[in-house]
Structures are given as structure tokens and as C-alpha cells.
Structure 1
Amino acid sequence: MRAGSRDDADVIVVGAGPAGSSTAHWCASAGLDVLLLEKSAFPRDKICGDGLTPRAVAELARMGVDLDPADGWIRNEGLRVFAGRRSWELPWPDVTAFPGYGSAMARATLDHRLAQHAQRSGAKLLERTKVTGPLLDERSGRTVGVRAQTADRRDVVYRAPVVVAADGVSSRFATALGITRRDDRPLGTAYRTYFRSEGTARHEDAWMESHLELWSGAPGKSDLLPGYGWIFALGDGTVNVGLGSVSSTPARQSAVGHDYKALLQQWTQNTPEDWGFTPENQVGPIRGAALPMGFNRTPLYRDGTTLVGDAGGMVSPFNGEGIAYALQAGRVAADAIAQARTRTTDAAREAVLGGYAERMRADLGGYYTLGRAFVRLIEHPAIMRFGTRYALPVPVVMQFVVKLLSDCYEPRGGDWVDRLIAALARVAPAA
């Protein structure tokens, strides 16, 4: 694992989103020489709901990120859920494993701050450096670096014993190695835009708002879609407004064929006037992206390449949340990479590096399996309608749902809801 005389770093990280910057931070903090490559220049936009659950906030705290509200880290108290023409305000679960608040920040700002944090930890960031493919050892086929193109279109090669693919949902790096997406995992679609909200009812809302009934047309007179709409105040005078839909497989999603951009436009046009979701207040276009869920690209480690975040399909099938798991994956991957340096044989180093995948599978595999079952259920409009109208209003069900969907439960101990969710996640096969 120790970088040789021909190596440019101990580890190369491809992509400076939350997963890549987390990996770079933790590797640099462990004393590794880190090269973080980003194809764009900061600040740059990414399509996302911009919401940060308490689980994500906990990961940021572990990284030592300063979460001072004065610096734009708005705090929210929980979820305001709309379903069946009723609404509930559900505080984030009171558990010791996570803080009692979430946050929200536009990805253009969040990603830039996390990349800067990785730099302060010692990582070397190269912006406008597009990785074009892996560099393979001619004899073993192992990844030993990357091929890249600089801002002035020069072709360059960077070498390292380990490369971390954090290049998002398409992960061209993993695809080039033959690590392709799985067709037996859920796939989500999300579309969002921004609205100026100063002086409106949405400005600095203390609740992340979720609309569980997402209709293709007039409520009650059209198709009920498997997904939800959201409104997240960002604390900077704008709100992120979007919708997401999920299918149990990519094939089922292709068969649906809804125009989600038009659906989002229709939804915002029908919102109350005092919300201010008007064309005049809209900031930027409606943009969409795929959400890779439930470990939809495996293996997470193979022959010198580690997959983190969206590259490994780590979005939760329950709620479309990906930032928390991207940050977690970076931390776990960095630990494996740092530990591998202490081993004295190639076989021992490979075993430790491969342990990253096993640890992620142990932590999240059962939970994601439950999420896949959840997606298969809500694909049926009758089940979705029954759940939102009759099951959700029951207080004990509501308590269970907010912990399960937010992944904010005590993994050990806690109340009976925590113990039930933990037990279900343990017994579910972590495939």
C-alpha cells in the first residue's frame, strides 16, 4: 500500500462531491497523501433535494465541519408530512445516535465547503481535471491510477495504489472496469428547482416538508404515483422544491413514462399564492437526475478500486437520501485504506480493502433490503392510498414510519420501535 517512487499519491479520489470529499478528508487525516480530482470548478451545481437528515449532520460533526447557523447551516426540527388532505409535524427522533435536528444547504455551497474542508485536512484538490479512465497494471489488471485531462486539455496520468471512484450515479470509472449497475435494485428519479422565498410563508421554515401523495393530475381524479414532493427551506432566501419517484427496478421505471418536469410545474402552479412559487420567483431551470438505490453497483471494492456514494448506489430506497450514506462510505473506505497500509503482504492488504464492502453491507444491507420491499409495496396505488389515509394517522404507526424512513433509530437499545427496526434490519438478508 505504501506509495512507490512512481506513485503520485497514496490514494486518488475521483470526484469531489460529499462521498469524495469525505474520503479525502478521512484519508488525509490518517496521514495519507491524497489527490482529489474534480472535473468541474467550484462552486458547481448538483441536482439534489439539498436536505440533510440528522444522520448526515452526525457525519459532518464527525468530520469536524463547523455547523454554526451563522455560517448558513440552517437547522430544521423534523418533517411536516402531508397526506390524505391532512398534515402532521413529526420531530426528528430523540435518539443518542444522532442530533435532534437536520439541516439543508444548496449543493453548490455544500460541496464546495466539503472540498475545502478536505483541503484543510491535507488533501490536494485539482479542479477542472476530468478523469477519462483507469490506469491498469499490464500484468495483473489491477487499478494503479487514473488517466485524466487537465483544464488546458493535456492528457496526464496519476498513479496510486488505491483509487476511489466517487464520480456519481453514472460512474464512468467503475463502468470502464466492467462494474455495471444492477437491474434488481430500485431506481429513483428526482426533479427540482429553486424559488426565492424572502417575505413568503416558506422563508426559513423550521420543518422539511414532504407531500406523500403525488398525483399525475388533479388530486383524487388521476394516478397516485409512487413518490413524494418536497419543500426544503435553505435559509439563504431560497427554497428547494422538487419531487421524486421510485420504481423497484429500472425496467419498471422506464415503463412508467411520466413527464416529471411537467408534473413539477403543475404542482408548483397549484400551490397557495402566499408561497410565492411563481415564474417570477423561480431561480434557475427545473433539472432532474437518477437516484441509484440500495447498492445498485457492486462489488464495492475490486482490484484497487473502491466505490463510494452514488457510484456504489448508496441512496436509501425509503426516502431518496444519499448524502448521509456518501459521507459514511467515505469514512469507512478511508479507514480500510489507512489500515491496509499497515499490512505486510499483498494478500493481507487486499483482505483489509475488501473489508470495506463487508462493513458497508453489514451496516446498511439489511436496511436497504427492507427499503426494496417498501418500494415494491408503494408501487401499488391501492396500498399507497390505504397507507397514507388510514395507517399513517395512527400515532404508533407515525412514530414507526418517521424513524424507519429517516433511518434515525438507535441501532442498539432505545425504545421498542428502535428495537423492532434494528431487529428487522438484522434479519433481512443483506443481499
Structure 2
Amino acid sequence: MSSSLPPADASIDRRMIFLLALTCGVAVGNIYFPQAVSPLVASGLDVAPNSAALVVTAAQFGYAAGNFLLVPLGDRFPHRPLVVAMLAVTGAAMLGAAGAPGLGALVAASAVAGVTTVVAQVIAPMAAGLVAAERRGAVMGTLLAGSIGGILLARTFGGLAGEWLGWRAPYLIAAAATLAIAVALAFALPATDPPSRQSYPALLAAPLRLLREEPELRRSCLYQATVFGGFQAVWTGLALYLTGPEYGFGAQAVAVLALVSAGTMAATPAAGRQVDRRGPDPVSLVAITGTIAAAGVLALGALGGAPGLAALGAGTLLLEIAMQSGMIANQARIFALRPDARSRINTAYMTCAFLGGSTGSWLGAGACTRFGWTAVCALVALLACVALARHLLRRPDRADHLGNAEAKAPSRS
């Protein structure tokens, strides 16, 4: 079958890249603002903080399920109706969460929203197919910067709006933003033809087959699952730590601390350019070692007071930069493997990443409540050391320049 991918750079310009980055931010923000809201949910629904953290975990596991169940459809259906439909369902789920009468209903609505708010993972492979290979790292960095902006603003507005207006307000605002962006994309997204005519069961089986066949995909999945697991452990535990007896802050503290990580928005496009110039592996190594360093800095948050807060701010900034830089390197590596199956490859990658993130979120909440903040930091370092060991044991091969090599290779069809 001949590839029906659109010609590179034929359907995308800077304005469209900006809109896609905004969409990524709106979508990804839906699974991150609950991290700042969970202490308010605990008090508002009169449940234990550990139980309220299940809202965060449910959204993360839902996101992992959405990556497996829905992202492969990006290789089977035109992107515009697929993305708009997913955003519409997400908006409806957010409205359901805002009106949830109890924790069980809220957890269920959060899981549904997590499943359908995976549009960023449909957009990323779509955009990768619409730009030339030499621009791919920079474009992925721009899209990821949009996602980072969504993460930062989501935590900030979630904490502030929840503190001022109650925990239901962030869900209502998220629903309105998601539905608005769905309407905009219904008119603005370029028309694309699906590169595959495979059945849905075949599409679901493809990520597992690709994981078996592509060692570089397995390696990238391990990197992101471990680093992202540590990242999620920190932010889930941080909300409990800052609002607990050690610091005694409100939800606004999480919102303010999230703004410290705004520097990541400038760092990730630079990481994308480094991937274009040097290949993904050097950037992956920096990301993994940066995560280990971040764990050490974050551990100093146990000092308390101003020194502790400074350490938490510096550590979260370093951790965000490391995690997002690693994401760019990993996606550049995997998108160069099978140009005709990018959505299915991204499915395998993001499912593994968010299974790691969901597990990290759950472990982080348990570690913080049972053993304290230092245990969370030790968990982050341990997970990153697993990735570092795998990186050091890799075989020297084409991986170092895989992101650039695709420009010279014919597409597999």
C-alpha cells in the first residue's frame, strides 16, 4: 500500500503550530490541575487526603488507557473529526466532574476525561508527518512547550480558582476551555488522509507488535516511564507535603510553585534544537542525569522554611526541564522508526509513559503520607537510576542520529 501521508510542510505554518500547541496545553492541563485541587477535594467531600489523591491517579490511568484505545485511531481516521470528538467528550466529562455528588462519581468522571483528553498524542504524530524531518525536533519542542504551558497554568489556576471559588470551579473552567478549543479546531485543522486502513483490533495489536519489533521503542518507553513516574510522584506528593503539617500552606502554594517551572517553556524548544543537531541520545542522557540531580535538590525541601521552599522551587524547575527534554528526545527517536505508523508507535510510547506516571503518582502519595518527603525524593532517584543503567548498557548504533537519519530514508509503506 502506498503511503497517503500529506507532503511535508504542505499543510502547516506557524499560526497552525501555535494553535496546535495551544490545543496540547488545553488538553494536557485537564489531567494536571487535579494535583493542585486534591487537598480541596479532600476537605470539600470530607474524605482522607490519600483518598482524594485517587482523583489524580484515576485521570492518569485513564490517560494511559486513552493512549492505548484511542491514539491508534489517528492512523485510521482523518484527524479533524477525531480530535474534535475527543475534545467534546472531555468537556462533557469535566462538566460531570464539576457536578459530582461524591468521591466515587468524581473519580469516574476524571477517568473518562483522562481517556479522551489524549488529543495531544494524536496531534504530535500528525504534526510530525506535516513537517520536514529537519524541522521535526523544533516543532515537537514547540508543541511540548504548549503542553508545558498548559501544565503550569492548570496547576496555577486549579490551586487559585479552587481556593477562591471551591474545588468545583476548576472543572467548570476546564470544561469551557476544552469545548471552546474543540469549536476552533473544527474549522482550523487541515484535512488529512489516514495512512492505514487496518481494522480497529489490528490497530490495537500493532503497538504491542511494534514494542516487540523495535528495540529503540522499548528503550524510549523505559526512559519515559521511569522519569515520568518520578515526575508524577513529586507533584502528587508535593500537594500533600505543602498542605501538611510541615509547611501548613493552602492550595495556593502549589499554584505559586508551579509558576516557578515556567522557565521550562523556554528550555524545551532549545532541547528540540539540540536533538536536531546532535541526535536524541545525548539529550536523553542529560535528561536522566538531570532527574537524579533534581531528586537531590528536592530532598533539601525537608529543611523547611525559606531554604526548603527555595530547594523545592529549584528542584521542580530542574525536574520539569529534565522530563520534558527527555520527552522530546524520545519522540524524535520513535517518530523516525516507522513514518507510516507514527500514531501506533506513539500509542505504545505514551501508554508506557503514563502507566509509569500513574504508578509513580500512586507510589508518591503513599511514600509521602507514610514515610515523608525524603522517601518521595529517593523514589525519584531510584527510578531515574534504572533509566541511567539502561542507557549506559545500550549498544552503540544508529540511535544517536536516528532523528536526523529519517530524512535520507524512504518511508515504509
> TM-score scaled to structure 1, two decimals?
0.28
User: Larger Cα Rg: Structure 1 or Structure 2?
Assistant: 1
User: Which of the pair has the greater relative contact order for Cα pairs under 8 Å at 6+ separation?
Assistant: 2
TM-score if structure 2 supplies the norm length?
A: 0.29
Structure with more strand by fraction: 1
Report which of the two has the higher share of helix: 2
